[in-house]
Amino acid sequence: MGRVGTRAILPIWLQVFVGVEMTAVIVAAFLYVPPADGFASPECARIMIFHVPCAIIAVVAYIVSTVYAVLCLTRDEMASDVKSAASASLGFLFTALATVTGMIFARVEWGTAWNWDPRETSILMLVIIYAAYFALRGAIPNAANRARISAAYNILACLVMPFVMFVLPRISPGLHPSEVSLSPEYREALVGAMLGYVIIYVWMLRLAVRVREASLARRR
Amino acid sequence: MSLRGAVAVLVKDARCELRSKQAISAVLLFAVTSTIAVSFTLGMIGSDAAVASTLLWVVIYFSAMAGLGRSFAHEEETYTAGLLRLAVPAESVYVGKLAFNFLTLAAVEVVTVPLFVLLTDCRVARVGAFIGMLLLGSAALSAGATAAAAMVSRAASKGALFAGVSFPLLAPALGIAIAGTNAALASSPAGCAADMRLLVYYCGVVITASLMLFRCIWEE
Amino acid sequence: MAGVRISNLAHEFDGREVFRSIDLAYDGSCLAVTGPNGSGKSTLLRILAGLLTPTSGEARFVVDGQDAPRERLRGMIGLAAPDVRLYAELSARENLRFLLRARGCGEIDERASSALERVGLCDRGDDRVGELSSGLRQRAALAAAIAHDPVILLLDEPSSNLDESGMRMLHGMIESRRASGLVIIATNDPDEAALASERLDLGSAR
């Protein structure tokens, strides 16, 4: 495995930028964006600005984790395993946030916090995959075995996920709208939030990888 | 991959199981008591295909969780896994274990399914499609469970972990099997054929991926 | 004839070093691997058998002057070790037949009977391994290691649990196997180590 890096996790200017940018997004979400027409609670619809990017990052983090899992098995084992596990841990965090914000919105908009809507079910499946992945990692004592087996599980679970798409529509019709027309203010806030979340994800990923690498180096 | 090796593993596992009767007796007892509990509490389901198909597959699924995890864990616990790794190619081990798990599940269903139909007065509109769904669903559950069992066998705590690790892999197959069985019980030919095709694709994807990944899971 | 080539071999378990920098080129007939408890004798044999991937370095066999490819090693190596056990629910004969069938060997019944006779298990060969004493189980394990007539025989503490006749059987087996191939014995027993023409001491490889 390579040396632990010593350069800044993220360039200082980018750290400042995302701090200012996300502050602006939060302010905009409450003060700039108007109440949304067509929702049961026009004010509560503001939560979409934070919920949608969370859900997208949750899926992106999982895909990144799976890509590193493939690299773990085909190339350098341990370095890629560190990145795969780090991305998965962040994916779990964003999935939890997406679930909670989604449940708040569902309670207000559709009357109940959980409706087995296809999107809700797919995010729940992601939570379960992450939980099983970490349970498996935690139970394998040998580091090399843990890297290979958790990578194999990650890849297998990713291959099986498309079949969930065929099962979900049968359980209940979708409540999430398939087409949404947003006001220009909502669109700007959403794009701003998406940009901020992506930078935060990359920042947290690099930090998590650095911490794990330092921990492994210290153990050696 | 050596087919001869896979057959040797299957025959060996069957012989060991017939003598010890550890897995089959536990699984059969679980399946029968679950079936009796279901029919005792719900009474006659009759022509309610949705309830019947769901309950039947829940019984089969948890029976699989009770028994299929032992296929690899037993090898590690009794120190026979080394012998298997020495004599048999990894892919042949997977195919042999997969075949054994499928036959175990099928043997349990030979007893459980008629008992379920009898005790709940479940009406089967299309027997051929019903049996086809049972076989394909069992094949799908066996495919995912075998890979999961191999992964969990390297873990320190195997029992409870197997069910948790298997669920994300098997949930889509379970959903499709329930939907297809519902169609078979309620005599909906179009729906059943589509679900059968999906299960064939699922088996193809999971078995192919497992064969490619198995060496990473099995070898140290 | 067979030989072994080990270059810069090192292994560790979760950060704990087992051994490092083992180098060896051996083309003789019998090699003894010695060292104190925990020096990695069993680990080295597992690596040579292909059961374990070393952390770094390389270990390979040379058979009739050519590198033996990993795919063919399965039929060429026999291993008897304390953590590689036979199936307790099956008889010794059934275990041998399974291993021979899995390896694609011919004349399965003849080979199994011959191996059982060689280790002195003819009359107990059809009893379940789980019902055998520890000494007879060790004989059964040795039978499983030689049944497919391997070129390379790896023995980890082979004399454990053997009585006097078992020891004579073991020494005779080693002599006959070394005549046509390579025998590597991991042992703390001076008498066993004395059978070898060369010794690899892992106590100095840490």
Q: What is the pLDDT of residues C94-130, one digit of tens each?
A: 999 999 999 999 999 999 999 999 999 999 999 999 9
Return the pLDDT at C174. 94
**Is the CB of C144 less than 8 angstroms away from the CB of B83?**
yes
**Is the CB of B82 less than 8 angstroms away from the CB of C51?**
yes
Give the lowest-confidence range in A206-220, C22-36, C47-61, C176-190.
A206-220
SS3 C77: strand
pLDDT digits (tens, 9 = 90+) for B83-128: 999 999 999 999 999 999 999 999 999 999 999 999 888 888 889 9
SS3 B25: helix
Q: Is the pLDDT reported for residue A128 higher than 80?
A: yes
Q: Is the pLDDT reported for residue A3 higher than 70?
A: no
Q: Which tokens hold the place of B154?
A: 């390297």
Chain A closest-CA separation from residue C69 CA (Å): 21
Return the pLDDT at B49. 85
Q: Is the pLDDT reported for residue A2 higher than 60?
A: no
Mean pLDDT along residues B42-63? 87
pLDDT band at A1 (very low <50, low <70, confident <90, very high): very low
pLDDT digits (tens, 9 = 90+) for C152-186: 999 999 998 999 999 999 999 999 999 989 999 99
HSE toward the beta carbon, residue C116, CA cutoff 13 A: 21
Q: Is the pLDDT reported for residue C73 higher than 90?
A: no
Nearest CA in chain B to C145: B83
pLDDT band at C74 (very low <50, low <70, confident <90, very high): confident
Q: Where are the alpha helices (DSSP H) in chain B?
A: 3-20, 22-42, 49-67, 70-77, 81-87, 90-120, 127-152, 159-185, 189-218
Given a contact as 3+ CB pairs under 8 Å, which chains touch A? B, C
Return the pLDDT at A178. 62
CB within 8 Å of chain B, chain C residues 150-189: none
Chain A closest-CA separation from residue C108 CA (Å): 35
Mean pLDDT along residues A197-207? 95
pLDDT digits (tens, 9 = 90+) for A84-117: 999 999 999 999 999 999 999 999 888 888 888 8
ipTM above 0.90, yes or no: yes
Chain B closest-CA separation from residue A166 CA (Å): 8
Q: Who's near B184: CB < 8 A, 6+ residues apart?
A: B53, B124, B125, B126, B129, B130, B132, B133, B192
